[in-house]
Amino acid sequence: MPELEELPRGYVDDANVARAMFTALVPWLDLVAARKHYGSSERVVQLLTAANRHYDVANQTEVFDADVAQAVASLAGWKSELIQSARKALRYETSVKPQDGGFTLEVLGVSDGAGLRLFTDGVSALVRTRIFRSSSTHFMMVKYASGNSGFTRFSSPV
């Protein structure tokens, strides 16, 4: 995401420059929309920061996932177990990429405001339709079986 100070100020005559400027502004507009939607600006920024981190050592996936779950929990008020199960069910998985002598971990799809809203809307829909059912030992999830006209049930230990 480019810094706002780097963008040109003033009237732009060239259509290509205007397109490039608009493209550079889109992530900032997206962040403003997410902050307005959730009403908790600091928590939105914390979550977007937690969803894309750089570590110097490998095997930090569990720590990273716990940090993301905590950030979502503080924003949405859901329990960490629900968030982890929903990430698996909705396929919001952690991506690990070697970069600059370390590793960048990212939750694909939650690194911007629009993706964050899709994720929280998806989890809310699962909860509202009672696809997630809480029990003391696990969550029951309903997953659409591809190639099948119905639904199949499977359980995922928490």
| 52-81 pLDDT tens trace | 888 888 888 889 999 999 999 888 888 888
The answer on pLDDT for 144 being more than 50 is no
pLDDT score, position 88:
85
Q: What is the pLDDT of residues 97-127, one digit of tens each?
A: 888 888 988 998 888 888 888 898 888 888 8
pLDDT score, position 16:
92
Structure tokens at 11: 């009237």
Q: What is the CA radius of gyration of the chain?
A: 19
**Nearest residue to 38 (alpha-carbon basis) of 68, 71, 82, 63:** 71
CB 87 within 8 A of CB 141: no
The answer on pLDDT for 134 being more than 80 is no
Q: What is the pLDDT of residues 17-26, one digit of tens each?
A: 889 888 888 8
pLDDT score, position 142:
37
pTM: 0.68
Q: What are the φ/ψ torsions at residue 39 (nearest 5 degrees)? A: 75, -5
Q: Is the dihedral of CA 114, 36, 94, 121 positive or negative?
A: negative
Longest Cα pair distance anywhere in the chain, in angstroms? 63
pLDDT, average across residues 125-143: 55
pLDDT, average across residues 37-56: 87
**pLDDT tier, 133 (very low <50, low <70, confident <90, very high otherwise):** low
CA distance 6 to 52: 22
In which region does residue 149 sit, left (phi positive, over 0), alpha (psi from -120 to 50) or beta (all else)?
A: alpha
pLDDT score, position 1:
65
